[in-house]
Amino acid sequence: MIYFRSIIFYLGEALSTIPFTIISAIVFFAPPRVRSRVIAGWAVFVVWWLKVCCGLRHEVIGLENVPKTPCVFASNHQSTWETIATQTFLPPLAWVLKKELLKIPFFGWGLWMTRPIAIDRTDRKNALEQVVDQGKEKIKENRYVLVFPEGTRTPYTMDRQYKKGGARLAIEADVPIVPVAHNAGKFWSSESFWIKPGLITCIIGPAMMHNGKNDIALTADIRTWIRSQDLWAGKGLIRN
């Protein structure tokens, strides 16, 4: 049954990108925050469809910790879930993502219209500068930035070293960085096509200011907080 329900979900998710790409084109000239809110309608649909088809729900703890002004959110990265669902409960976001995602028909086109922070990962030397320079522009537009410090999806049972781009952006833009922890990989794994039913728990932590710390120390604080939550099931460490 899990296999059948997962296939139905993926079909509905893929087909839904077509009308939402059209909607994205209609609001293309709207201000970035307005455009993000409209396009987030697709995420609302997908989260609902995920519940209907796969029986996968989520709860969010700590919404009171979301700052009233733009900040950097730093989330662990276990599945596709957090790239979609965060749009439904966080303020208008600009994500840090790999540039090649923008080339995917319909989905990538709609994503491009949200004006994300698209990073060319083949240019490793300048990746950090890309995050910081583009991120500061998004914050000036009164948008919040979402980064995944692990850099790629990590299995629920493992842990990676964190990259410091999000911390560097928070320091240079002089805004808070807010840790986000979840256990989505337990149900929607990066290692499997199939989606399990259950309840994803997502916890938004307290905002952290750099207070003179450098990006390495601030990144370590974020990683420590995320790992300290009971959601983490790490049993090993993948070193970069």
Per residue in 84-106, pLDDT tens?
999 999 998 887 766 665 566 65
CATH number of 2-238: 3.40.1130
> Listing from the earlier edge strand, what are the strands of the sheet with 177-182?
56-61, 198-204, 177-182, 72-75, 144-147, 93-98, 117-119
Mean pLDDT value across residues 31-52: 85
> DSSP code of 184?
G
Residue 38 reports pLDDT greater than 90: no
Mean pLDDT value across residues 58-83: 95
Q: 154-188 burial string, b = 16+ CB within 10 Å, else e?
A: bbbebbbebbbbbbbbbbebebbbbbbbbbbbbbb
Q: Which two tokens stand for residue 203?
A: 């916890």
Q: What phi and psi, each to the nearest 5 degrees, are found at residue 191?
A: -100, 0
Mean pLDDT value across residues 40-59: 94
Question: pTM value?
Answer: 0.86
Residue 237 reports pLDDT greater than 50: no
Mean pLDDT value across residues 20-31: 74
For the chain, the domains span 2-238
Q: What is the pLDDT of residue 106?
A: 56
Per residue in 121-180, pLDDT tens?
666 657 778 888 888 988 988 889 999 999 888 988 888 899 999 999 999 999 999 999
Mean pLDDT value across residues 72-85: 94
Residue 9 reports pLDDT greater than 80: yes
Residue recorded with tokens 């709860």: 59
In 19-107, beta strands by DSSP E: 56-61, 72-75, 93-98
